[in-house]
Amino acid sequence: SGLPFPDLLVKQVKEIVSLGARDADPSKGGHHLTPQEFHAAISASSGASDLVLIDVRSTYEHAIGHFEGATLPNMKEFSAFPSFVDRHADEWRGKKVLMYCTGGIRCEKASAYVKSCGVEDVSQLAGGIHRYLEQFPDGGHFKGKNFVFDRRIAVATHNTTVVGRCVSCAAPYDELSGSRLCTVCRDLVLVCPACAE
């Protein structure tokens, strides 16, 4: 097994993730919840109409694993997030909004943007799914695999539930591959080996 980041390059950049033309001040973001607090908030509000759980990741990341009941913005790239929020902010006011992403980075700006739209009760999972799964190796409320940005591609929990589905035949499948891309948008897609042939 080789190093997870063999071509690691460190450089200073203006920002790690971009919301595009509409930006938000991360210092005005949501309340940070520990994995235990996030788990408890989902448990306490299970099925409640006053809870909004938002997956701040892209569609293909969500496809292989997510928290039960999460709303997906259906975005290819993070800069599409503000448009999603603009369409839904009015219905979120007065509700408890919980947000999560892979490692917590995208939630810094995402939660700040949601708050800037007049939604007051906004919290985010500190350390993202990565830290949550360290505390809940059986997956807790998270089902499937967590997409990661290294050679592993996805990290599974002790719970082997497959939440992904082949886009062609709908069979349970959750193996993303750089060789299986949408011919239109060039995004990763779930296509099982039988359908790939």
Catalytic residues: 101
3-state helix, strand, coil in the chain (%, to 5): 30, 15, 55
Taking every pair of Cα atoms in the chain, the longest distance, rounded to a whole number of angstroms, is: 50
Q: Which of 177, 186, 187 is nearest to 196 (CA)?
A: 177
Task: In whole angstroms, give the CA distance from residue 41 to residue 48.
Answer: 11
Partners of 145 in the β-ladder: 156
Partners of 79 in the β-ladder: none
Answer positive or negative: Cα dihedral of 35, 26, 50, 58.
Answer: negative
Task: In whole angstroms, give the CA distance from residue 42 to residue 152.
Answer: 28
Q: How many CB atoms lie within 10 A of CB 31?
A: 13
Task: In whole angstroms, give the CA distance from residue 64 to residue 176.
Answer: 8
Task: In whole angstroms, give the CA distance from residue 97 to residue 65.
Answer: 20
